[in-house]
Amino acid sequence: MDTDLAAAYDRCRELHRRHGRTYYLATGLLPAWKRRHVHALYGFTRYADEIVDRIEDTSPDERAARLDDWSARFLAGLGGAPVDDPLLPAVLHTIAVFDLDRADFAAFLRSMAMDLTVTSYRTYDDLLDYMEGSAAVVGTMMLPILGSSDPAAAREPARQLGLAFQLTNFIRDVAEDLGRDRTYLPDEDLAAFGVTREDLLAAVAGRRSTPRIRDLIAYEVTRAQAHYAAAAPGIPLLAPGSQACMRTAYALYGGILDEVAAQGYDVFARRARVSGRRRLAVAGRALLAPAGTPVTLPGPRPKEGLPVHAFGRAGAPS
């Protein structure tokens, strides 16, 4: 690699190390030649996310202009134009090496643009439309890098895993998202549990949940669990050298749901985290598991009396 390309991969790796600790740990279990490409995709998604989330020192118009400019430089690079950017050379190189679907990247950038103007989602289908670009396509971007014995069969589980990971983040980060004037819990779900946005804001201010909010969070956990269940068949289909990585990521992100349940579904008192000791234990078990071993579904048992989701539109939980 030339110096600029190597520096771009290093920049992506550093973004991953600093901001994606759980996934970064899992990526360390991949063959060395694959890691840089996973770092490149993480760097791409993280940098775009940082543009739209940096609300402290930039106005919405400024963030929109920055996203438009960065997207234009990325698209120009896809067309073969020289790119002056600290990380895009690595992203463009990874896309070329694996012939990744350009439409996935366009869908991702569309969802990032939605974060500049959309502050809530009326229904779960509306939220799924957003997550199609922000999460599901990340699964399909990753699949060619991870490799699979049956890419066609592994495609939908890869999409579902992206959805599971992002919904887990939405559940854990309700307070953080409210700080950006966003809610990713559907309005219809809030209404079903008698919860308003003002109730959520009061919980943030008091650092304490209410019984209705806790039931709402427990309900959303069942949604995430359904996505994990749909993703599970795909991991044994991955290339043997990629399975330990994704077993670890699967278990650790699912472990966040365990932590949410352990604190009584109160996501306001403290941020749910998986301990360092558990992270290392999970990684060790993943390394020892023979290739093709089914994964264990993560997360707590559903709270008694709450509905359990069935599968609806396009195979997604509803």
- Are the beta carbons of 173 and 167 closer than 8 angstroms? no
From the list 82, 69, 146, 132, the residue with the least C-alpha distance to 103 is: 132
| CATH number for the domain harbouring residue 226 | 1.10.600.10
Q: What is the pLDDT of residue 280?
A: 85
- Domain end position, chosen among 57, 91, 117: 117
The pLDDT averaged over each successive group of 10 residues in the chain (318 residues) is 85 92 90 96 94 84 94 94 92 97 96 95 97 97 97 98 97 95 96 97 95 97 95 96 94 92 94 87 87 80 60 47
Same domain, residue pair 88 and 201 = no
CA-to-CA dists, residue 45 to 14, 50, 224, 243, angstroms: 13, 9, 21, 22
Same domain, residue pair 133 and 232 = yes
- The count of domains in the chain is 2
Q: What is the pLDDT of residue 303?
A: 66
Same domain, residue pair 122 and 197 = yes
Q: What is the pLDDT of residue 179?
A: 92
Q: What is the rounded distance in angstroms from the CA atom of residue 107 to the CA atom of residue 268?
A: 32
Same domain, residue pair 160 and 295 = yes
Q: What is the rounded distance in angstroms from the CA atom of residue 30 to the CA atom of residue 36?
A: 10
- Are the beta carbons of 164 and 234 closer than 8 angstroms? no
Q: What is the pLDDT of residue 312?
A: 46
Report the 10 Å Cβ neighbour count for 68. Answer: 13
Q: What is the rounded distance in angstroms from the CA atom of residue 52 to the CA atom of residue 130?
A: 14
Same domain, residue pair 68 and 50 = yes
- Domain end position, chosen among 54, 84, 117: 117
CA-to-CA dists, residue 309 to 85, 186, 203, 226, 239, angstroms: 44, 15, 26, 7, 31
Question: Can you give the residue range of the structural domain that contains 158?
Answer: 118-318
Q: What is the pLDDT of residue 166?
A: 97
Q: What is the pLDDT of residue 315?
A: 47
Same domain, residue pair 25 and 62 = yes
Q: What is the rounded distance in angstroms from the CA atom of residue 78 to the CA atom of residue 82?
A: 9
Same domain, residue pair 85 and 164 = no
Q: What is the pLDDT of residue 301?
A: 66
- Domain end position, chosen among 117, 137, 172: 117
